[in-house]
Every structure is written in C-alpha cells, then in structure tokens.
Chain A
Amino acid sequence: AQRVTQPEKLLSVFKGAPVELKCNYSYSGSPELFWYVQYSRQRLQLLLRHISRESIKGFTADLNKGETSFHLKKPFAQEEDSAMYYCALRDSARQLTFGSGTQLTVLP
C-alpha cells in the first residue's frame, strides 16, 4: 500500500526566509503527487500538482523519483503563507492518500 510521510508536524520560519516542507512517499507504481493547503477557517484546496510543473503563490515542488520525495519550496515566505499543508499521492485507481500535514507558521 502507498504511504505519504510529512515528517514535520509544525514548521516556523521568519518572513522573507526560505521555506521547505518535506514530503516523502512510497508507491510501487508511477505516482501523481499534489500539495493541498488549508488556510485558517477555509476549505482544503489544491495548491499545485507535479504534472503541471507550475508555480503557485511562489511555491514550487519537484518530484524526485530517486529519493521518492516531493518537497514544497518557496524562496521568500510571507505571513499569508501560514496554513496547514498536506502532501497527497494519487494511485492508479485514482485514490488519494494524504500525509499527516505540516502546520506552517510564518513569523513577522
């Protein structure tokens, strides 16, 4: 069975500092990977997916199949980035498996 691991439950950085949220996965097939974000009192929403190779709100994530990682990065964190971030993997049956989440706090 697949697994998604987010080793940090809590992460604090100062405004303007780089931030990296770690995500590692285990899956025997070819995975589709996503990052979801939940801002305070808002719904869970898709941030980005590896297929699109996009940058959303300054965030990027690169799929590293060798290290089975999909870390989320932003060079300069903003206070509005404070939120709960979930890494998720979609398998061949289209089932989403979520990591346990990382609560990011960007300090002023």
Chain B
Amino acid sequence: KAGVTQTPRYLIKTRGQQVTLSCSPISGHRSVSWYQQTPGQGLQFLFEYFSETQRNKGNFPGRFSGRQFSNSRSEMNVSTLELGDSALYLCASSLTGTGRSTDTQYFGPGTRLTVL
C-alpha cells in the first residue's frame, strides 16, 4: 500500500505570496490532519479534515486554510506569507481519525516551505 504523499517536497516563496500544499492520503483513509513543524514551536496541529469537512482546527490565524476533496486528497493554503511561516508542513492520514487502537495515523514526508 502506498504511503502518504505530499507535493511539492520543497518550496521557496517570498513574503506576501500565497502557497498551496497537497497531501494524498493512504488509499481508504478518510481523515487527513495537517501539522506545522518549526525548531522554535515544535509540532503544532493545524487542522483535520474528514469526509470533506473540517472537523478540528488548531490555533492558527485565518491565513491558514484547507480543504479536502471527495477522494480524500487534501490541500492547505497559506495566504499573505510571513517569514515565520517557514516550516516543515506535515500531513497525516488515518482511517477515521478516532485515535482508536485500530486507527493509526500515518505521516507523509512533509513539504519544506521557505519564505524569503
């Protein structure tokens, strides 16, 4: 079974631009979560989508948004980029996102975003 894939793997943008990152979950997985990883703040939860609906949202400004398609693929968008948005963005998929012992969350390799 193919793992979680994320595209692109690396991205360089300038302040003020906007960016879209993509995540393809493992086949059959309906829950997709996004995380931001930085040296200073560590791993922080952004949001979770399940069956095309945002089910949970972390404490990030409205510039961070996402969506999920009917095939469970997900995108996250960051508008008006700031230098502090430079980070590794990880997505993770699971069957239902319930956290039960049968529902493991699998992570993708991440997209490294650099904002200049």
Contacts and interface: CB of A to CB of B under 8 A. Distances in A.
Interface in A64-88: 86
A46 B105 contact: yes
A90 B105 CA distance: 12
A96 B48 CA distance: 10
Interface of B: 3-4, 33, 35, 42-45, 48, 55-56, 58, 90, 92, 97-101, 104-110
Interface stretch (A10-18, A20-28, A98-106): A98-106
A94 B48 contact: yes
B9 to A, nearest CB: 12
Contact of A44 (B58, B90, B97): B90
A17 to B, nearest CB: 27
Contacts of B33: 96
A90 B55 CA distance: 14
Contacts of A30: none
Contacts of A49: 99, 101
B90 A94 contact: no
Contact of B104 (A46, A95, A97): A46
